[in-house]
């Protein structure tokens, strides 16, 4: 479908039309003339995608035999072709072809900026360093690694060698001519692949990369997603720009504020492995109130979302951490990458630690999105602005070039228990849900910026969440629920408008179960919840979890056949009024919906294996066989009228 471009403000000025009296009418006419997809709707639809995918352009994917490239990833995600893949197992490398059971609506390849140069040099015969010892070692097949620490240490050592002058040339990874040429070549391939596979109204692609900083072996990574094909000349690497503040400033200077049409957002992932660093409170070293507000404005402007679920686990919440008040949340043990789930853990408190990439070091409540949102409320009260006003998405972080490979029924045509490159963690990752008018880059990116997004642990659950002061009581029974809710309130990701009634705010949460595909039905829904977070004057998070529809039930799943048993719902909906609302207290609310228990792909694969083909891991009681899949909406924020600030800086 060919879509007309909007007349720009610059064009209007050139034509002499942009007077103060005509500009508003001109922009309205431009919006009206802007072509739409035939299925566009003002009530917005749910689109599902994956904004975190690695191909062989990332060293840590290449060494584990991944040979998919960006083109392969997009063909797989869009359902337009099979992706050939190599899978490292205990018995060697298995070659397979993968197809996605249901195409995604959008995707982004996010290969590591830090790893684009060296791999190109080592896989390009004419590079000048192809035959070096380091490059031969890089290309050599890897055998299975030991535990997490062993695998990470081996990768880190190799990456350090790839950054050196032997591979990159004089100056190493920062200025070495060979690695800079490799980065340019890989970056161009990423852009070209996204351009080739973007099909407005059908399948959207985003030019993107991952910025991967690992201070003291903590994971402080961010995916950088661009609105369109106008992007900087090269990605920003943590090798040359080690702090997030530098990344945001660079993107603002070379993209968002450059006047070229470039636009970008950054999305941190795995705060659960950051030892308190992703949501640290150092304000980039700012000391004065004005400097801190400037930092917060830039951060919130560039970073509207956080990836709170992926293959390396859940980053919503964790029980037992210091500085969290309120009853424990029984569902906070879900998909924890670092175990044990329960019991005492080393706690960083308000500090930071290191070593999480090796499975070591302390936890802090700031490793989890729920408590970061709560701390943002406290910081807004303390310094006048909220640095952690973020919406939620999920993605996979898959390192095999297979976006959206989250189906627990069929995974890659390979029995997952044989695989060793996930260090024993078989969670397939999540998906990003977006509410947008149509499936185009602009419409989806606008939703990223306004935080009208939700995260799922893999299923395609459609979750809606609205807030207001007097949402109609009959919304759940109306076919035009969304249209009326938009008219009467605000959606997930937004701020409640100034208080209009003496009563507390009302919220509308609605969830539709994933229907699944023929022969492989989705799971039934168990309960729909609203989570309220506030903060006390010491910065401690206060949490409250309320079941608003459905409830804990006796549903289960047969561990041998994976047959579900017990009651559940295809949809859940509820209108809820906060009975404990304090008009003088900042608060944030989000919805969570939980499925009945279901088998993980791991259990399904083990059920098909016996004898020598059945790995010992199939009988390891420490590896969960079932899970309760779920989805989380972005929050809605309340700010007392006398302390209200604009929540989203103008771009």
pLDDT digits (tens, 9 = 90+) for 263-320: 999 999 999 999 999 999 889 888 898 999 999 999 999 999 999 999 999 999 999 9
Q: Does 105 map to a domain?
A: yes
pLDDT score of 223 more than 90? yes
pLDDT of residue 356: 92
pLDDT of residue 452: 98
Task: Indicate the pairing of strand 525-535 with strand 587-595.
Answer: antiparallel
- The answer on 341 and 265 residing in a single domain is yes
Q: Does 32 map to a domain?
A: no
pLDDT score of 34 more than 90? no
Which of 364, 386, 418 is the endpoint of a domain?
418
- The answer on 511 and 412 residing in a single domain is no
- What is the share, in percent, of the chain residues with pLDDT greater than 70? 87
- The answer on 329 and 244 residing in a single domain is yes
pLDDT band at 592 (very low <50, low <70, confident <90, very high): very high
Q: Does 240 map to a domain?
A: yes
- The answer on 217 and 298 residing in a single domain is yes
- The answer on 364 and 253 residing in a single domain is yes
Q: Does 200 map to a domain?
A: yes
> What total number of domains does the chain contain?
2
Residues with Cβ within 8 Å of residue 643, at least 6 apart in sequence: 380, 381, 586
- The Cα-based distances of 651 to 78, 302, 483 in angstroms read 31, 9, 27
Question: Cβ(505)–Cβ(638) under 8 Å?
Answer: yes
Which of 381, 397, 418 is the endpoint of a domain?
418
CB-hemisphere CA count at 13 Å for 413? 14
Weakest-pLDDT range from 167-171, 510-514, 558-562, 564-568? 558-562
Q: Does 138 map to a domain?
A: no
The residue-averaged pLDDT of 138-153 equals: 76
- The answer on 468 and 403 residing in a single domain is no
Residue range of the domain that includes 334: 46-115+187-418
Strand stretches in 285-389, DSSP E:
305-310, 313-314, 324-325
pLDDT score of 25 more than 60? no
The residue-averaged pLDDT of 86-108 equals: 76
- The answer on 210 and 280 residing in a single domain is yes
pLDDT of residue 614: 82
Largest Cα span, the chain: 80
Which of 389, 418, 447 is the endpoint of a domain?
418
- The answer on 497 and 357 residing in a single domain is no
- The answer on 198 and 53 residing in a single domain is yes
pLDDT score of 206 more than 60? yes
pLDDT band at 35 (very low <50, low <70, confident <90, very high): low
pLDDT digits (tens, 9 = 90+) for 326-336: 999 999 999 98
Q: How far apart are CA 253 and CA 294, in angstroms?
A: 15
pLDDT band at 30 (very low <50, low <70, confident <90, very high): very low
Q: Does 127 map to a domain?
A: no
For the chain, the average pLDDT equals 88
pLDDT score of 169 more than 60? yes
- The answer on 485 and 406 residing in a single domain is no
Confidence (pTM): 0.91
| Number of neighbours of residue 634 by Cβ within 10 angstroms | 33
Separation of CA 25 from chain center: 38
- The answer on 337 and 276 residing in a single domain is yes
The residue-averaged pLDDT of 470-474 equals: 95
Q: Does 584 map to a domain?
A: yes
pLDDT band at 469 (very low <50, low <70, confident <90, very high): very high
Q: Does 651 map to a domain?
A: no
- The answer on 395 and 488 residing in a single domain is no
């Amino acid at each position: 479908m060919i879509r007309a471009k909007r007349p720009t403000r610059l064009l209007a000025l050139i034509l002499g039309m942009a007077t103060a009296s005509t500009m508003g009418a001109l922009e309205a006419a431009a919006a009206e003339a802007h072509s739409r997809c035939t299925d566009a709707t003002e009530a917005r639809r749910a689109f599902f995608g994956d904004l975190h995918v690695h191909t062989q352009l990332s060293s840590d994917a290449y060494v584990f035999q991944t040979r998919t490239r960006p083109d392969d990833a997009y063909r797989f995600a869009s359902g337009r072709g099979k992706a050939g893949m190599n899978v490292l197992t205990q018995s060697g490398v298995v070659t397979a072809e993968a197809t996605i059971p249901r195409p995604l609506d959008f995707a982004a390849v996010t290969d590591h900026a830090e790893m684009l140069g060296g791999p190109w040099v080592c896989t390009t015969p004419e590079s000048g360093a192809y035959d070096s010892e380091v490059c031969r070692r890089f290309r050599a097949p890897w055998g299975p690694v030991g535990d997490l620490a062993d695998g990470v240490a081996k990768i880190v050592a190799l990456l350090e060698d790839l950054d050196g002058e032997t591979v990159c040339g004089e100056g190493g990874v920062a200025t070495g001519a060979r690695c800079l040429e490799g980065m340019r070549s890989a970056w161009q391939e990423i852009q070209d692949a996204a351009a080739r596979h973007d099909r407005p109204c059908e399948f959207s692609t985003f030019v993107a990369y991952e910025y991967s900083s690992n201070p003291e072996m903590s994971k402080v990574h961010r995916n950088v997603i661009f609105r369109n094909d106008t992007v900087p000349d090269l990605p920003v690497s943590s090798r040359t720009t080690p702090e997030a503040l530098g990344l945001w400033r660079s993107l603002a200077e070379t993209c968002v504020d450059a006047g070229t049409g470039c636009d970008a957002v950054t999305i941190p992932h795995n705060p659960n492995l950051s030892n308190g660093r992703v949501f640290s409170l150092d304000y980039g070293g700012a000391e004065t109130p004005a400097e801190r507000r400037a930092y917060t404005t830039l951060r919130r402007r560039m970073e509207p979302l956080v990836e709170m679920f992926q293959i390396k686990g859940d980053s919503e919440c964790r029980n037992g951490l210091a500085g969290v008040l309120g009853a424990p949340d029984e569902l906070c043990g879900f998909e924890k990458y670092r175990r044990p789930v329960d019991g005492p853990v080393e706690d960083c408190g308000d500090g930071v630690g290191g070593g999480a990439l090796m499975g070591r070091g302390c936890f802090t409540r700031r490793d989890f999105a729920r408590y970061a949102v709560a701390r943002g409320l406290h910081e807004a009260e303390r310094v006048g602005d909220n640095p952690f006003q973020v919406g939620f998405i999920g993605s996979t972080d898959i390192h095999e070039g297979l976006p959206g490979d989250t189906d627990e029924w069929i995974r890659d045509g390979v029995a997952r228990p044989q695989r060793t490159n996930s260090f024993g963690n078989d969670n397939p990752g999540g998906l990003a849900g977006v509410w947008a008018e149509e499936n185009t880059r602009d419409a989806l990116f606008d939703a990223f910026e306004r935080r009208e997004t939700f995260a799922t642990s893999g299923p395609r659950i459609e979750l809606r969440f609205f807030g207001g002061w007097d949402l109609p009581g009959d919304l759940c029974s109306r076919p035009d629920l969304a249209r009326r809710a938009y008219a009467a309130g605000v959606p997930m990701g937004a701020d409640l408008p100034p208080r209009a009634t003496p009563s507390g705010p009302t919220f509308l949460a609605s969830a539709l179960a994933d229907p699944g595909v023929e022969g492989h039905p989705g799971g039934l829904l168990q309960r729909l919840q609203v989570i309220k977070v506030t903060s006390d004057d010491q910065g401690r998070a206060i949490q409250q979890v309320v079941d608003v529809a459905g409830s804990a039930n006796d549903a289960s799943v047969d561990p041998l056949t994976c047959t579900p048993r017990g009651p559940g719902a295809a949809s859940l909906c509820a209108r809820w009024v906060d009975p404990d609302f304090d008009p003088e207290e900042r608060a944030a609310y989000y919805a969570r919906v939980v499925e009945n228990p279901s088998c993980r792909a791991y259990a399904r694969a083990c059920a098909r294996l016996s004898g020598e083909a059945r790995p010992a891991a199939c009988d390891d009681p420490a590896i969960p066989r079932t899970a309760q899949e779920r989805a989380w909406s972005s929050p809605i924020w309340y700010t007392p009228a006398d302390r209200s600030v604009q929540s989203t800086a103008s771009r």
